Structure 1
Amino acid sequence: MSQQSTTPRSPQPHSASGAWAAGGTMFAAVLLLVDGVLGVIKGISGIAQDEVYTRLGSYVFKFNVQAWGWIHLLLGVVLLVVGVGLLKGAGWARVMGVALASINVIFDFMWLPYTPLWALVSIAISLFVIWALCTDSSRTSTRTA
């Protein structure tokens, strides 16, 4: 029989930004779920009646509100799926969360003439989601046995 010497490992020190990012990942998942639900609601409103949203001034990107409704509806459903994946800890959901939050920033920028204040709020939420998912290294750290 051989004896193995085990030395206690000191806990890894976590920086303040690492703790924020780890907690931020859970919050990012919830925000993706909320943004997904709101996207579905925006989409249904745009599809159901073209007069729900009014355009403010002239803008370069001219789309039919019903077309935007379908875009927001589909993106909202996908955001819901990715949010659930993040809550379950799926690795693919982190990558998809960053990609879809980036796409959401672009779409919300193009949606500015219809709902300027909410588009800016949604852009800020998406940027937080991107930051939280990119800075949390706690799930990608390698563990040695």
Structure 2
Amino acid sequence: MDATERLGTGPARRPLLAAGLLTTAGLVDAVSAWAHTRHGRFAVATADGVYQVDLGGWAWAHLAVGVAVVLAGLAVLTGRRWAVPVAFCCVLPAIVVDLLLFPYAPARAVVVVALNGAALRLLARHHRAARAR
């Protein structure tokens, strides 16, 4: 055991950090999506006039992927082999939905996509290191 693993900062801690990032990102997605299910109307001003856009359907999809990412983060905590592929399958649609809703909540979308991306990178590095052993 090297010094980084004894201090808890090495490869052994990657899944724990990834699980925390996934759970945080999923909670942010779920809470913001819940708010958009109640008040999901936006006014869009164009050269032709002002239009109201209702994001109710997208908000429910966003809520579903947010809950899925939270569950995937909790599954990663269990340390099961199937948790990493499940996390990838849950996070990739969440990133797509966040990017599609970027014009309506850009700051939240950037933060959540960054958290999800960092978690995916940590999981991929951990999975690759575990296969190399």
TM-score past 0.5 threshold: yes
| 8 Å Cα contact 1:55-1:113 kept in structure 2 | no
* Contact 1:98/1:129, CA 8 A, preserved across alignment: no
Alignment RMSD, CA only? Answer: 2.8
Larger Rg: 1 or 2? 1
- Aligned counterparts, 1:9-24, within 5 A: 20-24=10-14
Structure 1 residues 57 and 100, CA gap change in structure 2 (3 angstroms): farther
One-letter amino acid of the structure 2 residue matched with residue 128 of structure 1:
A
Q: For each residue in 1:44-90, what CA deviation from the matched residue of structure 2 results, as whole angstroms up to 9, or x when unmatched?
A: 11111224xx46767xxxx7411121011111111121111111112
Q: Decide whether aligned partners of structure 1 residues 12 and 50 sit closer, same or farther in structure 2, where only a CA change above 3 A counts.
A: closer
Change (3 A) 1:22 1:108: farther
From 63, 73, 81, the counterpart of 1:83: 73
1:43 pairs with 2:28: no
Figure out how many residues of one structure are paired with residues of the other and give that number: 123
- Residues 50, 65 of structure 1: 8 Å contact kept: yes
- Give the TM-score, by structure 1 length: 0.70
- The answer for unaligned runs of 5 or more in structure 1 is 1-10
Alignment CA distance shift 1:116-1:55 (3 Å):
farther
Post-superposition offset of 1:132: 0.6
Q: Quote the residue 2:62 is aligned against.
A: 72
1:128 and 2:90 matched: no
| TM-score after normalising by structure 2 | 0.76
Q: 1:111 aligned to 2:92?
A: no
Q: When you count strand as a share of all residues, which structure comes out higher?
A: 2
Identity of aligned residues (%): 20
